Structure 1
Amino acid sequence: MRVLIQVPTRIPAYKYGGTNRVAWCLGKELVKKGHEVLFLAPSGSSSDFAEVIEYDPSKGLEDQIPSGVDIIHLNHEFEHWPETPFIFTQHGNFNHYPLPLNTVFVSQRHAERHGSDSYVYNGLDWDDYGSVDLNGRRSFFHFLGNAAWRIKNVKGAIDVVRHTRQERLEVLGGHRVNFRMGFRLTLSPRVGFHGMVDDHAKIKFLRQSKGLIFPVRWDEPFGLAVIESLYFGCPVFGTPYGALPELVRSDVGVLSTSRSELTTAIEQSEDFSPLRCHEYARDEFNSELMAQRYLKRYEMILNGQTLNHVEPAMIGGHTRQFLEWNK
């Protein structure tokens, strides 16, 4: 099968990289399975396992599809969808109109919020992450995500740690002074800020962390930070919103809307097995499983079937900007 994967940001991912990281892992896995993969990606992209076609925003999408492509895998919304058979993965929450019949979401909850039952969990190529030391010394907790997004609730993560006796938080993806959040200044010496870290720095922190603190205040579509943390043996302490109840089982973390409950939970983080967290992420959220699931859907589309009976659309819109977070 000849598959064209469109990505909205440069590949390979260097720092944050959500959608492009998943698309990269999918492409690599499809090549391993004997398929030909091409990427349609922004200027500056490169790949050592697939041809990269530079996307030209001044041209229409259809004009940039090479001949002989069996199916296009889109990861970004377009005003005009192509005539060539395609599948579209909706990675975010911010669509305001019906989506194509062949839309896939990234969790069951994400799909349900759009009136759909079509979803494929994200998976990562764990070989890209190097070795995992599950017996090493762990001395802090971490927050991983874009702290400038208030819905990610880094303030809540900081409050959880500040109410412990002596735990420390390392914020990966934010700064001590943040004007975008209405001038937030964090003075606590028990909180460190590291900005948007690259993969090398991120992995170094995850190897030494006791757990991820992730009290998001929106319906998280999936949460790569969750599975990356689990892979390195870090239990997850977050809120029960979006996909988190699907990803965070009781044996790998605690979900609550209460700061005090999460504070108590992280002080008992040693009750969780790093090995159990690691094995769960490795076995359930890998790129091979993701590729198998997408291949089934590619075949359905090429056989003339659709993935949804009606065009998916956000049910009720975004009625609440911030979901509940209690002290």
Structure 2
Amino acid sequence: MHVLLVHKARLPVFTAGGTERMVWSLGKALTRLGHKVTFLLKCGSKCDFAEVLPLDRNKSLKEQIPRGVDIVHVQTLPDFDADNDFDMPYIMTEHGNATTAPTHRYLNTCFITRDQAARHNSDQFVHNGLDWDDYGPIDLKRPRTYYHFLGKASGPDKNVRGAIDVARAANVRLEVLGGHRLNFKRGFRFTPWPSIGFNGQVGGAKKFALMNGSRGLIHPVRFPEPFGLAITESLYFGCPVFGTPYGSLKELVGGEFGFLSASASELARAVAENAFEPRRCHEYARDTYNAMNMARGYVEKYEIILNGGKLNASPPWLTDKSVDLLPWNA
């Protein structure tokens, strides 16, 4: 099978970019399964295991599809128009909560968790997976002396303020990966407490080293998170997840691997009492959310489409388009 993977970003990435890491891992895994992969990506992309073509956003997708492609796999491309651009097999993966993007109208839309699919009136999903070989060695015997927050700290939906409140109430150190002590991006925020460390946007060896020393992820998001690679990355490093019961978290974080609550005091109590087993968290993420599982899941979807089927009987649509922050009891 020859798969064209289309994404509007530049690959590979080394810091932020969850969708980008997922697409990269999918390409590698499909290749390992014996399929041919071609990437159609933002100019400047490079790859040593598949051909890369430059994506021109000023041209229709039809004009840019090379010969011999069996199926086109598009990642949340807002100006993608399957009805008019071309008439060949395609699949669209929706990575967000699609309130405005036109992906709802496509019968071959696939989602990334069961929860996200259900909220879009669909039952079609493939869990994100990562190529764990890219993450280096995991040291489960290393002393772990702090917790971490991983995400864009300027976003109120990510709720870094809540994570800080939880850490301070639990009397633990928190390392913020993805933010700065002084922030003006979305309202003024200054964090004076020395027990809260800020590392900016980190990637590669620095990110892995910080996660290798963490006792857990504090993740009190205030929106229905579609997936959250921060969750599975943290579990892979042996870190249980202490978060809110919204979006994907109830699906990804079972009782053996973390604690969920919308109450800062309850999360702080769970953090202080942390008795989760790092090795169990690591093995769960390694065996469940890996790139090969994801690739096999997509190959099943590809085969349905190539055999003339559709993933959805009717176009998916988001059942709740509210943009209000979900409850958080500080």
**TM-score strictly above 0.5:** yes
User: Could you tell me how far 1:83 is from its partner in structure 2?
Assistant: 2.0
**Paired residue for 1:118, among 118, 124, 130?**
124
User: Could you tell me how far 1:44 is from its partner in structure 2?
Assistant: 1.1
**Paired residue for 2:181, among 176, 179, 186?**
176
Instruction: Kindly indicate whether the alpha-carbon contact (under 8 Å) linking 1:7 and 1:41 is maintained by their aligned counterparts in 2.
Output: yes
Which residue matches 1:17? 17
TM-align CA RMSD: 1.0
User: Could you tell me how far 1:79 is from its partner in structure 2?
Assistant: 4.2
1:326 aligns with 2:309: no
Name whichever of 93-102 and 301-310 sits farther off.
93-102
SS at match of 1:151: coil
Instruction: Kindly indicate whether the alpha-carbon contact (under 8 Å) linking 2:132 and 2:286 is maintained by their aligned counterparts in 1.
Output: yes
Amino acid at match of 1:6: V
Which residue matches 2:35? 35
Q: After superposition, what is the alpha-carbon deviation per residue over 1:40-83, rounded to whole angstroms, capped at 9, x for unaligned?
A: 00011100100000111221111111011000110023342232
User: Could you tell me how far 1:153 is from its partner in structure 2?
Assistant: 0.3
Which residue matches 1:80? 81
1:247 aligns with 2:252: yes
Q: Name the CA shift for 1:79/1:41 in 2 (closer, same or farther; >3 Å).
A: closer
Aligned length: 324
Runs of at least 5 residues in structure 1 that lack an aligned partner in the other structure:
none
SS at match of 2:265: helix
Which residue matches 2:321? 317
Runs of at least 5 residues in structure 2 that lack an aligned partner in the other structure:
none
Instruction: Kindly indicate whether the alpha-carbon contact (under 8 Å) linking 1:227 and 1:281 is maintained by their aligned counterparts in 2.
Output: yes
Task: For 1:168 and 1:35, locate their aligned partners in 2 and report how far apart those are by CA, in whole Å.
Answer: 46
State the identity %: 51
TM-score, length-scaled by structure 2: 0.96
Q: After superposition, what is the alpha-carbon deviation per residue over 1:180-238, rounded to whole angstroms, capped at 9, x for unaligned?
A: 23101110111111111122211010100000000000000001000000001000000
Task: For 1:235 and 1:99, locate their aligned partners in 2 and report how far apart those are by CA, in whole Å.
Answer: 37
**Paired residue for 2:145, among 139, 143, 150?**
139
Q: Which runs of 4+ in 1 moved over 6 A?
A: none
Task: For 1:264 and 1:76, locate their aligned partners in 2 and report how far apart those are by CA, in whole Å.
Answer: 39
Which residue matches 1:129? 135
Task: For 1:119 and 1:16, locate their aligned partners in 2 and report how far apart those are by CA, in whole Å.
Answer: 23
1:289 aligns with 2:293: yes
Task: For 1:15 and 1:288, locate their aligned partners in 2 and report how far apart those are by CA, in whole Å.
Answer: 22
Instruction: Kindly indicate whether the alpha-carbon contact (under 8 Å) linking 2:245 and 2:260 is maintained by their aligned counterparts in 1.
Output: yes
User: Could you tell me how far 1:149 is from its partner in structure 2?
Assistant: 1.2
1:273 aligns with 2:277: yes
SS at match of 1:297: helix
Q: After superposition, what is the alpha-carbon deviation per residue over 1:17-43, rounded to whole angstroms, capped at 9, x for unaligned?
A: 111110110100110111110000001
Task: For 1:121 and 1:192, locate their aligned partners in 2 and report how far apart those are by CA, in whole Å.
Answer: 32
SS at match of 1:152: coil
Q: After superposition, what is the alpha-carbon deviation per residue over 1:237-268, rounded to whole angstroms, capped at 9, x for unaligned?
A: 00000010000001010000000000001111
